[in-house]
Amino acid sequence: MQRAWSGAVLMIVPTYNERENLRALVSQLRALPGNIHVLIVDDNSPDGTGAMADELAASDAGVAVLHREGKLGLGTAYKAGFAYGLARSYQYICTMDADFSHNPASLPALVDKAAAGDDLVIGSRYVPGGNVVGWPAGRKLISFVANRLAHIFLGITARDCTAGFRCYRRTVLETIPLESIFSGGYSFLMEMAFLCEAAGFRIGEVPITFVNRTQGASKISKVEIYKAMYTLVRLRTRALPWDRWEGYYQRRKARPSG
């Protein structure tokens, strides 16, 4: 089926040891309507994912690969992908995990919502209709707490600001100073959501069912949890001085003298 956004979408797939998933994922993405192009960002995966990505790219002009020399983190992989997309004419730049936690079949709905006017669309587990399948209770709790804290401390209104299934309108990535984003790992996602909201971009969420991977292993480590906490504190303290002082001076100015 022809879509208004046909030919304008790039999907960035960061990979580290995703050999069991990559071929099937790319073929499902390429079978979607709208000729969605795929960019694999591989960090020299020891399992040979990079070589597989090269093969896929060699047989399909809609698939490309960026090779980086080692495991440099999820956030910087996204940034490298964004730079690639912005250097070309893609209007919608998307991200997803390589492990089928994000169902490729949900992607057109994300792009449709962006095409209808949202600047960032998140495939969300925590809006009505969204769901998580197969995660252990501990992992669910961490994700829930991270989102609650992001709401309480940073005022983020998106219900699932740690989700990596996203569609950005090109203007978002042109506007936000990507080089100044501090987080290089998983908390990049929360930082981007925060910056998008702070810049006044409209964020939409599409319910998805997130399914825990059945192939390969998760790369998230405890360190990422500490980093996420640091990201919360860092963004909060960065916002504080102006919020507080600007409000304080405005209230003072408005106060009747005498």
Longest dimension (CA), the chain: 78
Residues in the chain, overall count: 258
Q: How far is the CB of 42 from ligand GDP (least distance, A)?
A: 6
- Range 61-84 burial, b when 16+ CB lie within 10 A, else e: ebbbbbebeeebbbbbbbbbbbeb
- How many residues touch Mg ion under the rule CB under 5 A: the total is 3
Q: How far is the CB of 212 from Mg ion (least distance, A)?
A: 7
Our finding on whether 197 is near Mg ion (CB under 5 A) is no
| Per-position DSSP letters for 104-159, written without gaps between them | GGGHHHHHHHHHTT-SEEEEESSSTT-EEES--HHHHHHHHHHHHHHHHHH----S
146 binds, among Mg ion, ligand GDP, none (CB under 5 to 8 A by kind): none
Q: How far is the CB of 9 from ligand GDP (least distance, A)?
A: 18
Complex with Mg ion: residue 3 or 139, whichever CB lies closer: 139
Query: For residues 144, 166, 236 and 147, what is the CA-based torsion angle, rounded to 10 degrees?
Result: -10
73 φψ region: left (φ > 0), alpha (ψ -120 to 50), beta (else): left
Complex with ligand GDP: residue 23 or 213, whichever CB lies closer: 213
Closest CA to 66 of 39, 99, 92: 39
224 binds, among ligand GDP, Mg ion, none (CB under 5 to 8 A by kind): none
Complex with Mg ion: residue 42 or 99, whichever CB lies closer: 99
Complex with Mg ion: residue 97 or 205, whichever CB lies closer: 97
Q: Could you list the residues that contact ligand GDP (CB under 6 A)?
A: 14-16, 18, 41-43, 71-74, 77, 97-99, 101, 213, 218-220
Q: How far is the CB of 22 from ligand GDP (least distance, A)?
A: 9
Q: How far is the CB of 135 from Mg ion (least distance, A)?
A: 10
Q: How far is the CB of 97 from Mg ion (least distance, A)?
A: 4
What is the C-alpha separation between 175 and 179, in angstroms, rounded?
A: 11
Complex with ligand GDP: residue 8 or 110, whichever CB lies closer: 110
What is the C-alpha separation between 92 and 244, in angstroms, rounded?
A: 36
* C-beta nearest to ligand GDP: residue: 218
User: Who contacts 195 (Cβ-Cβ below 8 Å, separation ≥6)?
Assistant: 176, 181
Complex with Mg ion: residue 34 or 73, whichever CB lies closer: 73
Contact between 21 and 216 (Cβ < 8 Å): yes
Kind of pairing between the strands at 120-124 and 166-169:
antiparallel
19 binds, among ligand GDP, Mg ion, none (CB under 5 to 8 A by kind): none
Q: How far is the CB of 236 from ligand GDP (least distance, A)?
A: 23
Secondary structure percentages of the chain, helix, strand, coil, to 5: 45, 15, 40
Complex with ligand GDP: residue 8 or 102, whichever CB lies closer: 102
Site for Mg ion, residues 80 to 139, rule: CB under 5 A: 97, 99, 101
191 binds, among ligand GDP, Mg ion, none (CB under 5 to 8 A by kind): none
